Structure 1
Amino acid sequence: METLSLFLSVTPSIKYLKIIGCGSLRNQAFNGNQWKDFIEGKLRSLDKFQFYFQTQRNPQVDVENVSSIINSFSDSFWINSKQWFVACDFIRNLRQIRLYSIPICRTDFYLIPQWNLFSRSTLTSTTTMEQIQKLQVNLSSGMTDENLIHKISFPIRDLFDLSSPSIFPQVDELHFEFDDQWPMNLHELIAIDLSRIVKVSLNIYFDQDSRHQVVIDALNDVFQRMPNIHTVYNMNRTVNAKILCSIVPSHIQHLQTKVKEIHQMKIILQHFQCLSSVEFDFLACSPHFPKTIIKWLKKKQILFEFYCTQYSLQLWLDNN
């Protein structure tokens, strides 16, 4: 922060400042009073100030830090003179704090279940996250609590009620992380306009011995509400070809997924008839996989180009 302060000290005429970074609570970045003194003394022409700061994991961080931080951004300089508003979140399980200006200045955001979040803001009215385009959601059983989950205050119960405004109206890319022990329906934790989604990343862990049909059905329901989706990334090897085909709409155009057997690649290529590109990532060194699939595609008289290694195969398909 000292280096940044020295740099800003020689730019007194700056009118717009945007900062994104990490630091500790000892850093000036988390102290509104120090920012006020610096701006009044060195940046008198500053009209717009946007920032996003996040601490590293710290077991000593708690909710009291949030209240202290918010209080330092709550005087007349911030609220009345500049009308710069901030929000501060304490993520309980990660022991982290994130502090950001409102509206948020990032295009990506990590959505935390409300039971795991202590949040305060200097803005009294509800605000939407209109700048967010990419949303990451972790709903693994380690991130949720079946007893606490019903205490969520985030206004997202009516996700599919068109009369209910979306919290994230501009999101077009989703990243899901969860396992088959997740206790809720998927749509109850996401306040977005699903019709805008074009890309989805899946990181789902399925225990081979567990009953995961509930999660598959929930995911299928959510994907059916994404008519414009064209790209899917499957990041976990426990989601096999059969599960993937039962979840993801067949009209997608781009797919990246992990596979461990040749027949899984054939299932995927036969099911997703609209694919223009696909990348198969092998779970082990498998130099014979590409040769077998290339021979199979030629036999099917499918036009394609490819790039392969011992660990992956990329295909560009002509499905016209």
Structure 2
Amino acid sequence: MNKLLLLTGNEWPDGSSEYLSAFIDLSCIVELSVSVDFDPNDISNTLTNITNLLKETSNLQSLTIDSSSTNAENICLLVPNHIKHLQVAIQSIDEMKLIVERLKQLSSITFNMLLDINSFLPDFLTWLMEKRNQSTYRNDTGYFSIWFNKNTAQIP
């Protein structure tokens, strides 16, 4: 098994990584999708448990965090250095900028857009080219993808 999809409600179960590792060799997982709603009253515990799980996934390359109830700061805390591809929902252009600035090890990011980016797109692209000038991007309905350190022309 090299792909894993985890769905949970508001509360991430304590000891879940130990439980999963009894059935699955987590070091073989290269693609992980986590769907969780972060309960504001239990966010610290949820972050700790997901971080513990991610520590067990040493070969993980691609991470999807499916949650509209977290913020960019928490996402940056969760994503380990060995992740190369990230897909995440965001609430604002500022969250996009924070993730791009902090997670420099990423080869690509796909943002699930919870806002209309078109009005902010020219300013964001100017900012992106100043920060990571060898980037390409694609703007699709509901998604905005960026590939870093590529020398190809931008995709419209």
Q: Does 2:2 align with 1:172? A: yes
Equivalent runs, 1:278-293 vs 2, <5 Å: 278-293=109-124
RMSD of equivalent CA atoms: 2.0
Equivalent runs, 1:24-173 vs 2, <5 Å: 171-173=1-3
Which structure: larger Rg? 1
The more displaced of 307-316 and 229-238 is: 307-316
Change (3 A) 1:199 1:310: closer
Paired letter, 1:201: S
Residue in structure 1 matched with residue 46 of structure 2 by the alignment: 215
Residue in structure 1 matched with residue 154 of structure 2 by the alignment: none
After TM superposition, give the deviation of residue 196 of structure 1 in Å. Answer: 0.8
Residue in structure 1 matched with residue 131 of structure 2 by the alignment: 300
The normalised TM-score by structure 2 is 0.84
Give the whole-Å Cα distance in 1 for the aligned partners of 2:10 and 2:89: 19
- On the 8 A contact 1:275/1:319 being kept in 2, the answer is no
Identity score, percent: 26
Gaps of 5+ in 2: 152-156
Gaps of 5+ in 1: 1-170
Residue in structure 1 matched with residue 37 of structure 2 by the alignment: 205
Give the whole-Å Cα distance in 2 for the aligned partners of 1:295 and 1:212: 34
Superimposed CA distance per residue, residues 132-183 of structure 1 (whole angstroms, 9 cap, x where no aligned partner): xxxxxxxxxxxxxxxxxxxxxxxxxxxxxxxxxxxxxxx2111111134344
The normalised TM-score by structure 1 is 0.43
What secondary structure sits across from 1:238 in the alignment? coil
After TM superposition, give the deviation of residue 216 of structure 1 in Å. Answer: 0.9
After TM superposition, give the deviation of residue 301 of structure 1 in Å. Answer: 4.7
- On the 8 A contact 2:107/2:147 being kept in 1, the answer is yes
- On the 8 A contact 1:251/1:273 being kept in 2, the answer is no
After TM superposition, give the deviation of residue 235 of structure 1 in Å. Answer: 1.6
What secondary structure sits across from 2:57 in the alignment? coil
Paired letter, 2:8: F
Give the whole-Å Cα distance in 2 for the aligned partners of 1:319 and 1:307: 13
Paired letter, 1:199: E
Superimposed CA distance per residue, residues 86-133 of structure 1 (whole angstroms, 9 cap, x where no aligned partner): xxxxxxxxxxxxxxxxxxxxxxxxxxxxxxxxxxxxxxxxxxxxxxxx
Give the whole-Å Cα distance in 1 for the aligned partners of 2:30 and 2:140: 28
Residue in structure 2 matched with residue 316 of structure 1 by the alignment: 147
> Alignment partner for residue 99 of structure 2, among 261, 268, 271?
268
Number of paired residues? 149
- On the 8 A contact 1:172/1:196 being kept in 2, the answer is yes
Change (3 A) 1:183 1:235: closer
- On the 8 A contact 2:59/2:82 being kept in 1, the answer is no
What secondary structure sits across from 2:94 in the alignment? helix
